[in-house]
Each structure stands twice: as structure tokens, then as C-alpha cells.
Structure 1
Amino acid sequence: MKFKIDTKEKIVVFCPEEAVLDANLAEELTAAVAALPELEERNLILDMTLVQKMDATGVEAILTVYQRMYDNNLSCAITGLNNTLTATLKSAGGDMLNLAPTMAEAIDLVMMEELERELLDGLE
């Protein structure tokens, strides 16, 4: 799988450079994201701008990556989805997913969650 990574101070932007996220690439996606050393202590934004289609295994891979981030007390947002993929992910993940129409909104979402965690940790 070809992908591009942009590492910022508290965020890693992961952009698959594939038009179709199917069974052939789903496992590669989860493995590639899990193996990123840049993700330690950083939130994730999945930039799906180049992905035009995905099957059920592709959806499952995105949900797995998403849940893995929250299991590690980090945030995740998904941006760049076309209307069809937005509807597909909303039906699969419900309102629990951070779906953002723009990169700026995705960054805002994960940074707000980061701030919430910091504030809650300070209260304990």
C-alpha cells in the first residue's frame, strides 16, 4: 500500500494513496498504521481524499484503526471522504466517529479531545 505521512507536534496525518480500500489493502492499512513509530503519543488523522471506494473489509480496517487509537487514550479523525464513503462510515460507526469535511476541522476535533483529556487528567 502506498501512503503519505505528515507528522506534526501532536498529530500524524496518514493519507492512503489508493483509490480503492478493499480486502487486499485493508490488512495492510491496519498494519501500516500500527507500525508507525510517529504515532506514539500523537493523535491520528486519516486523510481519505484519494480513496474513492471501499468494501466491508476496508470499513472494518478503518474502524479497527480508529478504535485502536482510543484504546491507547489518543484521538482519531477522518477527513476527505466523498459523500458515499461518509454515508458508509456513518452507518458502520454511528455518531461515535469523528468525521470532518476539511483537514482544519479534523485537526480541531483531535486537538479539542486532547485538551479535554489534559483537563480531565488535571482534575484527578
Structure 2
Amino acid sequence: MKFKIDTKEKIVVFCPEEVALDANLSDDFITTATTLPELNGRNLILDMTLVEKTDEKGVEAILTVYQYMYDNKLSCALTGLNNTLTAALKEAGDDMLNIAPTMAEAIDLIMMEELERELLEGME
């Protein structure tokens, strides 16, 4: 799978460079996105700008990566989704997904959740 990553202080932006995220690429997508060495302790933004279509396995792969992040007490946001991908994810997932129309808004969502976690940890 071809992809581009951009590592920031608290965030890794993962951008698949594939037109279709389907059953053929779903396992590779999960493995690649969840084992990035840069991800260690950082939140994840999935920039799906170049992905034009997906199938059921592709949607499952996106949701698996998303859930993986939260299972590890980190955040995830999706950006760059076309209308078809947005509808498919909302149907398969739930309305609690962090879907942002722009990269700046995705970063804001991640940083707000990060701040929330820090504040909650400080209260314990």
C-alpha cells in the first residue's frame, strides 16, 4: 500500500495514496496504520482525500484503525472524505466518529480530546 505520513508533535497524519480501499487492501491498511513507529504515543488523523471509493471491508478497516486508537487511549479523526465514504462510515459506525471537513478542524478535534484526557487525568 502506498501512503504518505506527516508526523507532528502529538499527531500523525496518515494519507493512503490509493483510489480504492477495498477487500484487497483492507488488511494492509490496518497493519500499516496501526504499526507505524511514528504513532508511538501520538494521535492519528486519517486523511482520506485520495480515496474515492471503498467496499464493506474497506469501511471495516477504517473503523478498526479508528477503534484501535481509542483502545490505546489515543484519538483519531477522519478528514478528506467524499460524500459516499462519509455516508458509508456513518452507516457502519455511529455518529460518534470524529469526521472533519478540513485538516485544521481534524487537528482541532484531536487537540480538544487530548486536552480533555489531560484534564481528566489531573482530576484523578
TM range (shorter): over 0.9
Report the equivalent of 1:48. Answer: 48
Percentage identity across aligned positions? 77
Count of matched residue positions in the alignment of Structure 1 and Structure 2? 124
Q: What does 1:2-81 correspond to in 2, within 5 Å? A: 2-81=2-81
Q: TM-score, normalised by structure 1?
A: 0.99
1:2-42 deviations in Å (ceiling 9; x for gaps): 00000000000000000000001000000001210111110
What's the TM-score, normalizing by structure 2? 0.99
User: How far apart, CA to CA, are the structure 2 residues paired with 1:56 and 1:96?
Assistant: 19
Separation of aligned partners in 2, 1:112 and 1:122 = 15
Q: Distance in 1 between matches of 2:11 and 2:33?
A: 13
Which residue identity does 1:21 align to in structure 2? L
What is residue 123 of structure 1 aligned with on the other side?
123
User: Structure 1: which 4+ aligned runs deviate by more than 4 Å?
Assistant: none
RMSD (Å) for aligned C-alpha atoms: 0.5
Task: Tell me the CA shift for residue 96 of structure 1.
Answer: 1.6
Q: Which runs of 5+ in 1 are unaligned?
A: none
